[in-house]
Amino acid sequence: MFEHERVVVRKGSRSGLPVIVAIHSTGERGAAGGCRMRRYPDWRDGLEDALRLAEAMTYKFAAVGRPYGGGKSVIAAPEGVEFDRRAALEDLADLIEELGGAYSTAPDVGTTPEDMVIIKGITDHVYCLPEEHGGAGSSSRPTAIGVYAALKAAARHVFGDDTLAGRRIVIIGLGSVGGPLAESLAAEGAQLLVGDVDEGKRALADRLGATWVEEGVPPADIFVPAAVGGVLSPESVAKLEVPLVVGPANNQLTEPSVADLLAERGIVWVPDFVASAGGVIYVPAREVEGLDHEAALAEVRRIGDSVTRILQTADREGVTPLEAAMAVARANMRG
């Protein structure tokens, strides 16, 4: 069933590219969510991405008690076609400005804080400007810090203590969040197995003393999905040999019923919209609430408390962590 409040798709007047804004919910302070710029076989694939991600943002904000709704923007570039990047960003900025504050954007896959400066030239409804432009900069490291807190809390729940030293941890995706997370885990003494579609990430793996994974998820204590979504399907879950899955990739489940399959196999899964909420906590804390860096990070680290409550509730009520987290999010939205 289509639940989004508003979806706008248009052809950019400068770039000629499909520009999409999906607003799943507006919340008390409008919808927020990143701008994804990537190549798609068809613009409708970009629309599907925007719809899924906007909904995920609603629950990401709600699960950690933030008063924003979920939105997402996508600039859908055709495969194999060159385009004017600045023109595409300005086309998106035009659309955001026309929405009058209903949606504010930020960096996502394919965009950077520097790109937000271009958007800021047309609309004020933008987050994560570089610090020299008055913003909080990239939310990647705060997101990684939040995932780290989620990992510690989940490890305590599953293994009895939150020590990650010596734990065999698989990280798939060494990008702007997975890379810093891998560094933190290596510093704690975790035994890392890592993989990425970018062979250039092998240099980071070597520096961290990690084992490179060519494909699949080898047996481990913890699996950290940190790349694209859709990695947990009925087929992949049937092959998983890990007791715990925690990671920042959005929309990890191919369908909600996969949460039941994970539970049936005795695998504890921390919902992605909770584990990856560090950025949506940190940026408003800095740019709207006026907290300094350390105070905002203290808020991010409370994700660990949220994970503990969700997993304890799931055990107590005999439901999946997904059901427990969704119940928290819905209660917050009603409140």
Tokens 């008063």, located at residue: 67
On whether the CB atoms of residues 209 and 234 are closer than 8 A, the answer is no
Residue pair 135/127 in contact by the 8 Å Cβ criterion: yes
Q: Judge contact between 184 and 297, C-beta under 8 A.
A: no
Residue 77 CA, chain-centre distance (Å), reads 21
Nearest to 141 by CA among 313, 310, 281: 281
Active site residues: 72
Residue owning tokens 């990008």: 175
SS3 call for 190: coil
Minimal CA–CA distance to 245: which of 263, 292, 52? 263
List 168's β-bridge partners, or say none.
191
CA distance 228 to 331: 29
CA 322 to chain CA mean position, Å: 16
Listed residue (258, 298, 250) closest to 275, CA to CA: 250
Dihedral sign, CA of 65, 68, 72, 73?
A: negative
In sequence order, the 6+-apart residues with CB closer than 8 A to the CB of 169 are 185, 190, 191, 192, 193, 220, 221, 222, 223, 224
CA geometry: angle 108, 109, 115, nearest 5 deg: 60
Contact call for residues 286 and 296 (beta carbons, < 8 A): yes
| Strand duo 18-23 + 244-245: pairing | unpaired
